[in-house]
Structure 1
């Protein structure tokens, strides 16, 4: 099972680029938590904190495609460096903002979101240039697995710093982490010979028209969006279960179990040779969400042990499905436009998560966790249809 990983590590520069790309996204996962505590401390309002986080999210979603396009057509390391400096400057300004000037926070958050370094799109585009056909499946599986660690590390680092020194210090930590990791990634890309655009950057048929018009690309993006909506809904439902039981620690444990299942599934999937079966992996993920519905209130009395087992088993399909989805986008996008395609992925999935949160919240308020996860299951089934459509169109 370890053979594909050994082959991956033998590819020059690939291991370092992957490690730095995952490290370069930890800050983005911790910043919203630090920002929430900061704004609530200023205003005493979670609603206003939500407004600031929404501005940050909108900026990131809107700028995804054109940041990717800039990286494709120019120097990806330069795009990373410039955007990182703007991003860190914005965080420092927000950190220094006095409480009475809180009304400037949404504007600053929007600008920070617009300048978020495109680490994901740039690094995934780099994988398509560095990895050979025999290692592409492993590299996307390994990245999806390692990203689970980033998902856990970002909020943990932010919350620890908030407890020790307050939210301003947490924002400063996120800014320092962004600066160190993103600049290191830019340097690693230059050393790997990826400082200049890909072969078709100067023109050619692969450069004309919208990347969304490419056969199979938009259905793959829609499938990824629906999966992101499902993840958001399940996370909120798990938190609601812990709240109903009066044990918030249960919610954290259940989310951790889900993440561990994803880590294990990603390691196993990355160790398998051959091209991943995209539609099958999405279908397995959908099945893992569907079987969770009957175990949740009000359909059944909440049993943390049963729910934990179902989450662990269902989580095995998360990283493999994400890896197959990312590999599909890398295969469908023409050479020299991969970063733009993955930039659209940021836009689609961020929008999906943003729309899913209030819908899942309404279902939790009116029916219960089973309804919210039922909505996630419906989104996952629709994702199977779009994944099938993408596979047929790309063929």
Structure 2
């Protein structure tokens, strides 16, 4: 372990500032999930399944919007790409609390579509602000900051719901999210090599130095399109229509599967925690549970970021999924908090490992879009986890929510590992010691290692 890496990164003022902004900007999003659940159940007097439906609606909107928002950051630059999000956060969440359930679902989709992409932007920026060998530590720091916000956010959401009203709380969430977007625009962290504040070390740019010249960005101009093709109206909306998913391969899909499973577990656990505490009349003690859960994740991220080797995110996901199931045995806030420690230890490592692998697998000129898809896979998992847990809670009881999301994520992790093993068995280890295949750069693949080995041999990069 090498804890000195944290000290070295925190000495860099722009990195330190970005991590602090990210931590503060995530608080409204962390509070929104619990607040929306309480709004549907307490204010609209509907079921947990209905609350899961709203959570699914907002995350589906985020799943569709995240790649598009990431693509816009790649093409137009950060500030221009965030303007629609800042406007939409205020407009949507100032009106959504006054709507009936059906219209609330529509508003949730729109709100998710234009949500400020805090997660993907911060990870993309860190990918160019620090050298490649420090990415794991930087992503771990960001994950730990996220866990701190998830200690504060849900408790803040409960406080808003119990001391004022869920309607007032949701309006405050919208205004706060817009202010977070403005703060990120003001900081304007680099998202491209060559921008002010980006790391000058070649390793931080991966294969981008050697990509096909006609498709590369003009040096120092992050707002130029990533292809030289004429821009149609569709391309103005999305970017370059051709070859948008050329960076997708089995290794990337495996990482996206891990992030999907992580979203499944995290959102399902959120709903399950609220259900258990509400069943026992202890909703006001949710902060205790999140203290244990997020505190354990904070510790897990600290340890993982100091490791000298990466761990396959699918292994981490499988362990977290299995350890989530025993949370169903909880009888009160304290036992729920204690049972959340073991799965919590793996939360930040799963997210850190997945982000690290995505950054290594995808060239810089596609990284904003890739991080968007990474965020989308996580939100798709969240969209599935919340309603699955909600249906089981309504039909069987609060304990069953943990069982179903743990089992589903465990199956997903096992399927990914089996697929990786089968592919290795068919193709075997390359005879050239892991050097790049001829033509790898033309396909946008990393030049330092074979794409098929990166997930299972992360230190090849």
Range of TM-score over shorter length: 0.7 to 0.9
Q: Name which of structure 1's ranges 79-88 and 355-364 shifts more when overlaid on structure 2.
A: 355-364
CA contact (8 A) 1:29 1:151 kept: yes
1:87 Cα offset (Å)? 2.0
- Provide the residue aligned with 1:148 in structure 2: 147
User: CA separation in 2, counterparts of 1:80 and 1:56?
Assistant: 18
1:233-286 residue CA offsets vs partner (Å, 9 max, x unmatched): 44445555556666556776444322211111112222x15342235xx43553
Q: How does 1:346-361 map to 2 (within 5 A)?
A: 346-361=375-390
1:288 Cα offset (Å)? 4.9
Give the counterpart of 1:322 among 348, 351, 356: 351
- Provide the residue aligned with 1:84 in structure 2: 86
User: CA separation in 2, counterparts of 1:333 and 1:250?
Assistant: 42
**Scaled by the length of structure 1, what TM-score is found?**
0.81
CA contact (8 A) 2:31 2:154 kept: yes
Answer yes or no: is 1:210 the counterpart of 2:245: yes
User: CA separation in 2, counterparts of 1:211 and 1:303?
Assistant: 49
1:113-136 residue CA offsets vs partner (Å, 9 max, x unmatched): 221112211221111111112321
CA contact (8 A) 2:304 2:349 kept: yes
- Across the aligned residues of Structure 1 and Structure 2, the Cα RMSD in angstroms comes to 3.7
- Provide the residue aligned with 2:4 in structure 1: 3
Question: How has the CA–CA distance of structure 1 residues 126 and 219 changed in structure 2, closer, same or farther, with 3 Å as cutoff?
Answer: same
Q: How does 1:99-114 map to 2 (within 5 A)?
A: 104-114=103-113
Q: Name which of structure 1's ranges 84-93 and 219-228 shifts more when overlaid on structure 2.
A: 84-93
User: CA separation in 2, counterparts of 1:304 and 1:38?
Assistant: 21
User: CA separation in 2, counterparts of 1:112 and 1:27?
Assistant: 13
Gaps of 5+ in 1: none
1:81-114 residue CA offsets vs partner (Å, 9 max, x unmatched): 332122222223436x4x6x77644333332222
- Provide the residue aligned with 2:215 in structure 1: none
Secondary structure of the residue aligned to 1:336 is helix
Gaps of 5+ in 2: 199-219, 230-239, 424-449, 455-461
User: CA separation in 2, counterparts of 1:361 and 1:169?
Assistant: 25
Q: How does 1:294-305 map to 2 (within 5 A)?
A: 296-297=328-329
User: CA separation in 2, counterparts of 1:14 and 1:121?
Assistant: 15
- Provide the residue aligned with 2:125 in structure 1: 126
- Provide the residue aligned with 2:222 in structure 1: 197
- Provide the residue aligned with 1:286 in structure 2: 318
- Provide the residue aligned with 1:386 in structure 2: 416
User: CA separation in 2, counterparts of 1:302 and 1:33?
Assistant: 20
User: CA separation in 1, counterparts of 2:54 and 2:412?
Assistant: 31
**Scaled by the length of structure 2, what TM-score is found?**
0.71
Secondary structure of the residue aligned to 1:276 is coil
- Provide the residue aligned with 1:369 in structure 2: 399
1:165 Cα offset (Å)? 3.2
1:352 Cα offset (Å)? 1.6
Answer yes or no: is 1:227 the counterpart of 2:252: no
Answer yes or no: is 1:162 the counterpart of 2:164: no
User: CA separation in 2, counterparts of 1:61 and 1:338?
Assistant: 16
User: CA separation in 2, counterparts of 1:161 and 1:249?
Assistant: 11
User: CA separation in 2, counterparts of 1:174 and 1:362?
Assistant: 27
Greater relative contact order (CA < 8 Å, ≥ 6 in sequence): 1
- Provide the residue aligned with 1:71 in structure 2: 73
1:304-349 residue CA offsets vs partner (Å, 9 max, x unmatched): 8776544323322221221111111111121121121121122222
User: CA separation in 2, counterparts of 1:49 and 1:313?
Assistant: 27
User: CA separation in 2, counterparts of 1:296 and 1:39?
Assistant: 23
